[in-house]
Amino acid sequence: MALQKNYPKYTASVTQQHWCHGILQRRSTWGRKERKRMKMLGMVVAIGRVAMGSLGGNVQAEVTKAPFGTTTVGEHTGKQVDVYTLKDAALEVKVITLGARLMAVNAPDKNGKKADVVLGHPDLAGYEADRDTYFGAVVGRYGNRIAKGQFTIDGKQYDVPVNNNGQSLHGGLEGFDNRIWSAKQIPDGVEMTLVSPDGDQGYPGTLTAHVRYTLKGPDLRIDYSATTDKATVLNLTNHAYFNLAGEGNGTILDEKITINADRYTPVSSVLIPTGDLPSVAGTPFDFRTPHVIGERIEAENEQLKIAGGYDHNWVLNGPNGTMKMAAKVVDPKSGRTLTVSTTEPGVQFYTGNFIKDGAITGTGGQAYVRRGGFCLETQHYPDSPNHPAFPSTLLQPGQTMHSTTVFSFGVEK
């Protein structure tokens, strides 16, 4: 989400960007130093296209809709949930209307064999029963944490439900992940819409949110937009868990990650940012060059102990509101790669520390293990409403929030 204080202009508007054969062309020009730095990191948007072969970039993705099930829990009991399948030569993607969730991404390995690389449940009942993992969901109204569930707008304090160690996580007890979104087919994908009324979970303003999933070749693009009729705070992100070896295929500790960030936001004992933005240099949080995820995850480091591994926000290099590389992950065995680009200022790298061994049976019938998936949640920083120095998450009436994230899948042989 890209919001700035000089309203109502938004630097992250998708109208300020254009696409050509699935590759984002930036209208703004980065300085020579930044371009050189990005080149050194090996971070190129949609890396791996050549290895993926001919992907039919000008051919629209096939989009189909089917019933996924009928809800049996909560206020939406008896409501139908649909699954939309987006398919082209490179990928097959499934999205469901409960929580606007990314349910599956079938991607090829270096030998052309496809596997689902997104963790999830095999049926609707699994998603309804699971209130802990947020598998694949769009979380909100405020993704990540707000300290003590409190924030102030124009001198008025608002209180939202606390549901995680005395803090508010992912919008509260009944966040956007637990809502049935309306949906319609669009070229190359599906657009989902949710209207959150004034006072929903304590948040001010009637908020209308739109999330578009579109597929072009190896690129799965998510566009977020929202408007409000009263000043509110907003932080939308997708909570997909990835395992590039295939969901249910062990841990992600052998996969290698690069994160385009010089700084990160350390947290307190309840995972709320302290407000400091220290350098990652000399710490287990330095992923400016590729490191195996499990290489330092058990290091003697207070921040790793607090979170039980990685569950922190990295401050991305590059201007807020412009498309930039966030991270790249490589699975050495399958050769699959995932490159994440975003207009957001931060990314939460989470290593599935709270997945309980054997507690969940995934879509492929295999029991999930602790650290069996990683998340790369593009976002504004946690608890931004209580940190004036952080990029603002305030949305005013008459403004439209725009944000874009692209998950690009490839292979390295």
Catalytic residue among 247, 377, 380, 402: 377
Total Cβ atoms within 10 A of residue 296:
17
Q: What is the number of other CB atoms lying within 10 angstroms of the CB of residue 290?
A: 14
Q: Are 336 and 244 in contact (CB under 8 A)?
A: yes
d(CA 65, CA 246): 24
Structure tokens at 98: 């409960």
Among 121, 239, 387, 402, the active-site one is 239
Residues making up the chain, counted from first to last: 413
Residues 408, 215: Cα–Cα separation, whole Å = 10
Cα–Cα distance for residue pair 204/194, rounded to 1 Å: 15
Which pair of structure tokens corresponds to residue 218? 């190896």
Establish whether 239 is a catalytic residue.
Answer: yes
162/168 Cα distance (integer angstroms) = 4
Does residue 377 carry a catalytic annotation? yes
Measured distance CA(187)–CA(86) in Å, rounded: 10
Task: Say how many CA atoms lie within 13 Å of 309 toward its Cβ.
Answer: 19
Contact 327, 406 (CB under 8 A): no
Residues marked active site are found at: 239, 377
